[in-house]
Amino acid sequence: MNKIFVFTVSVLMVLSNNLFAQKEENEEAKSDTLEYGIEEISVVGTRTEEKIIDIPYSVFSVEKKELKYGKKVSAKDVLADVPGLFLQNRYGNHDLRISIRGFGTRSSTGVRGIRILQDGIPETAPDGESVMDAIDFTSLGGVDVVKGNLSSLYANAPGGVINFKTDIYFPENFVTSQNQFGRFGYRQNGFKFGLKDNNQRYFISYYYRNIDGYREHSSEYQNLVNTIYEGYLGTRSSITILGNYVNGLIRQPGSLTKEEFDKDPYAAAPLAVSQDNRRVNRKGRIAFKYRTGFGAPDEHGIEIMAYAAQKELQKIDNEYFSLSTRYSLGTLLSYTNRSTIINHKNVFTCGMEYANESGPVNQFENIGGNRGVSVENEFNQKVNNIGFYFLEHFNLIEEKFDLFLSSRYDFSKFSSDIYIPYGFIDSARVFKGFTPKIGLNYKLLPAIALYTSYGVSYDFPALYEMENYIFSSNPSYTLNPDIESSKSYNYELGIKGSILNRDSEFMKKLFFDVTFFYYKISNEIVPFTINQKSYYRNAAKTNRIGLECGVKTEPFDHVDVIINYTYTNFKYDEYQALNYTPQGTITASYSSNKEPSIPGSILNLILEYEFELSEQFSGLLQWDCDYISDMYVNDANSAISDGYFYGNVMFGFSYSTEILGAVLFLGYNNVFDKTYVGYININDYYGRYYDAGEPRNFYFGLNLSYKF
């Protein structure tokens, strides 16, 4: 891999010298009608504002206009069209598993290996787990997705970073009533309110959602409030205050065996019903951001961020009736300098992050879904993480060739102090990681760039992934003493472009991003399940090779064609495992086997037709279809989940005047009523691997706005 990287750097250097010598006349000879879509700005990929075309990573932005219509229940509804992402929703609406280049696949209750932000504030807990139930997907102004290793800038981010941005930059004051309805008892009602003047703006949203569920024992409800205040202190400073609160209940039908799935894919596991498996969640957060600049324009920038949260979870599973509380605190201090060094532009960013989460857990016996009298287990869990990072962006050749150097050091301490049943036992684990990365970005043309990067990443296990089990080397500890953090060496090479040609009758725009990647991973964290409960262990070595392709074009007026394709070949290089089966323990070798729950091919095709009947009336007709290839469901590769194809259709219509607005949309998902596995419960002890995806269903929505 080092030879490959050195070769790539050498090629880029040669290209840069040759192309730099070319004269400017070549550029002037191009058509005057050609424009370059190079002004898109991203922050999450570099921790400072940079043009996407200048960043040596694969960056994708979901724009506001793409979020205007359609049902928005989970992140899958807004991320399904991002190339390189594989999304699985457990029971249809929650426990979203986001996989980027294989990272995140092991998750069973939240997102892992990918840093999740909401308006720049971490939704990811200090231990690396992300639960996205506090994000209002109906109020987004955009989403930034950076794919690939970003552990040199963010803790526990070997798969990338996703930032969900609330739509607070509205042109006028407004109040909106939002209403959505659909099959399987789906109902979501709420409002949005925005108020602004020259010095400040305020936004608040609220909704209540109820879903009966398409599977037995899968109903849920949720209340969610999100609010943001942003004030401008002069021309270079701002203060932002963000808050959210969510509470809800989710019933869980459990995973099925192959025989149960073939008989009735929408049934619930018998034990999940008899024990009334469910989660009741309440959490709230308040956050603060202060930004300022000094010196020459854009020369020096400082950002200070702090947040505090409280989460209360009531979790009822096959074993316990658990009550837990989490108190979280976090802070960020960052500094950015933009200057010139020997007539070359230079951007330097550095920062410090600290996060802490702690709280008690009490586990009672689960008696038919009710809490038992006595406490079976009592312990207090705590996570502390502190990280220091820097990024150096040096422009080697003006408007042509850029060098990115970044690195981060993280120190994380996990503890789980037991009080019942053993008496006090102090159980702690410490993980450290240094994650350097180098990236190069060369512009073949102003709007077409070739990029490459090589780096190291660490992925620390989350608290629930360190839960101990009876076959570990010390089963009396709360935290598994055998689990280790995974380490990966990441290489990627890609080309991307963003070209606009508004005056042409054909191909008015062309956006594309093609990335080849190779990852070599040691101690990959792998799940296995005993009695519907997930535990984790390490696989010695894993190789991942893949290709991501995304193309968006406008071949004719008002017609968009989007094609995304992902190819993967992920294999265990060395993996000896001790398996726990109803018949006893069995030692097995999984070397050369493919990783489960990873399709070899993902193909996504979207056709959109935008129409405008008048200045007030416009609309969108969309066809969206996906093909997902076969996947293994366990490390032994002894069973598979069949590949599938499904399609969705949606029609949206909007009306807007100076004071009134209306958005009406309706759609059909899974129009061919395909029965497929929407979520894989990896390595289950009893072979309960399968959770059905959503059958054919319809929905419609009506949003009414008053502007003032």
Give the lowest-confidence range in 108-117, 176-185, 307-316: 108-117
Beta-carbon contacts of 342 under 8 Å, excluding residues fewer than 6 positions away, are none
Q: What is the pLDDT of residues 563-579, one digit of tens each?
A: 999 999 999 999 988 77
**What pLDDT, on the 0 to 100 scale, is given for residue 5?**
42
Check: CB of residue 76 under 8 Å from CB of residue 628.
Answer: no
**Amino acid present at 285:** R
Mean pLDDT of 20-48: 54
**What pLDDT, on the 0 to 100 scale, is given for residue 2?**
46
**What pLDDT, on the 0 to 100 scale, is given for residue 577?**
83
Nearest by Cα to 707 from 664, 665, 663, 657 = 657
Give the lowest-confidence range in 39-53, 430-444, 466-480, 496-510: 466-480
32, two tokens: 């005057």
Q: pLDDT confidence of 123, banded at 50, 70, 90?
A: very high
Q: What is the pLDDT of residues 593-648, one digit of tens each?
A: 999 999 999 999 999 999 998 989 999 999 999 999 999 999 999 999 999 999 99
Q: Which CATH class is domain 35-159+172-707?
A: mainly beta
Q: Does the structure show a pLDDT above 80 at 25?
A: no
Nearest by Cα to 650 from 133, 81, 132 = 81
Tokens 């799935």, located at residue: 261
The domain limits of the chain are: 35-159+172-707
Nearest by Cα to 668 from 180, 68, 76, 183 = 183
- Alpha helices by DSSP H, listed for 533-686, are none
535, two tokens: 């535990």
Q: pLDDT confidence of 424, banded at 50, 70, 90?
A: low
> Residue 529 pairs with which residues in a beta bridge?
534, 684
**What pLDDT, on the 0 to 100 scale, is given for residue 423?**
66
Q: Does the structure show a pLDDT above 50 at 153?
A: yes
Supply the pTM of this predicted model. 0.92
**What pLDDT, on the 0 to 100 scale, is given for residue 426?**
66
